[in-house]
Amino acid sequence: MGRYRKESVPTAVGIDAILLVNLGTPEAPTAQALRPYLKQFLSDPRVVEIPRIVWWLILNGIILNTRPKKSAKKYAAIWTKEGSPLKVHTERQTKLLKGLLGESGRKDMLVDYAMRYGQPSIASVLDRLKALGAARITVVPLYPQYAASATASVFDDVATWTQNTRNVPELRLVRSFPEHPGYIAALAASVRKHWQMHGRGDKLVMSFHGIPKRSVDLGDPYQAECQATAKLLANELQLDAQHYVVTFQSRFGAAAWLQPYTQPTLEQFAKESVSRIDVICPGFAADCLETLEEIGMECKAAFLAAGGKEFRLIPCLNEQPDWIRALADIVIAR
């Protein structure tokens, strides 16, 4: 027996398919569900780049005995009746994209989503698309800015699938889209709408997920891509330098990550009487633990405790129609 499974013979006329991929999320907001999810996530060598044996001991000896319970509590604070926000939004984005492509004459196109960690796995959805006759598959990691730990990890998983597949379809891997005009316009529209509804804060904080500083020193383009997005968004909103700031959140572990860090920056603003803050998280295509809990709850509480007056989190692009149109443009572009 070799590694290759029996595969169905495709139809003569191949179908185009789109596969949206997001990070993944636990199946439930419980320590039992967090453990396997975190184990898979944090065992990925793209995510933690320290010698395997050392990391295996730290992960299995410490992290997986402490973090599942702590993280489960955080997930419980944002969990909805339909499930984890990240999964709910990704499912809706998939349906809306399918509908939009159908309206523009691409009813035949298959559109599905997968998660890098947890379910549905990339391999299971690629198998399904292929069985349905997909001959050309465009894979779109839902990360506007390229980071090896996020984007390349999706590509690795696709490559693992091709290694186990006999009849590999044509593949297009969308690398990143930090300056895509439709994406930038959708972000700007969401800020303007927020200002109209709630008034304008003293500063707009653009908070991106962080990565270790070492990754950037070793050649990861992530920081530059975040700065490119931020600059275009600021231009579109006609914000000058003193009215916005780029920060990095979600630090994990003891090493230095990209700076300035979001929470200390917010606390410093509160102390300097910059008391009304709007926060947008342009690197997240969907609201999730990192936006709803870390920014919307933890950072908000820290800002108010430090003397800040108003803290408003601008929702992620989620199901915003102009964002779905931008996504259609990104997936169709050849």
Ligand X SMILES: C=CC1=C(C)c2cc3[nH]c(cc4nc(cc5[nH]c(cc1n2)c(C)c5CCC(=O)O)C(CCC(=O)O)=C4C)c(C)c3C=C
Cβ distance to Fe ion smaller for residue 234 or 295: 295
**Strand order across the beta sheet in which 170-173 lies:** 110-117, 15-24, 134-141, 170-173
Whose Cβ is closer to ligand X: residue 209's or residue 312's?
209
**Which residue's CB is nearer to ligand X, number 138 or number 250?**
250
Closest by CA to 24, choosing from 101, 83, 103, is: 83
Site string for Fe ion, 198-237 (x = CB under 5 A): ----------------------------------------
**Distance of closest approach, residue 147 Cβ to ligand X, in angstroms:** 4
Rounded to whole angstroms, how far apart are CA atoms 138 and 111? 10
Q: Is 96 in the site for ligand X (CB under 6 A)?
A: no
Residue 225 binds ligand X, judged by CB under 6 A:
no
Distance CA 76, CA 330 (A): 34
Is residue 47 within the footprint of ligand X (CB under 6 A)?
yes
Please report, for residues 8, 78, 217, 272, 295, the alpha-carbon distance to residue 68 in angstroms, rounded to integers and kept in the order given: 40, 16, 31, 36, 20
* Cis peptide, bond prior to residue 120, ω within 30 of zero: yes
Whose structure tokens read 């295509």?
A: 285
Nearest CB to ligand X, comparing residues 151 and 275: 151
Q: Contact region for ligand X (CB under 6 A) — 205-213, 231-239, 295-303, 311-319?
A: 205-213
Residue ranges of the annotated binding site for Fe(2+) are 209, 290
DSSP state of 28: S
What distance in Å separates the CA atoms of residue 233 and residue 189, rounded to the nearest whole number?
10
Shortest separation between residue 183's beta carbon and Fe ion, angstroms: 20
d(CA 57, CA 47): 16
CB of 280 to ligand X, least distance (A): 14
Chain positions contacting ligand X, by CB under 6 A = 23, 25, 38, 47, 67, 71, 84, 86, 143, 147, 149-150, 209, 211-212, 250, 252, 283-284, 288-290
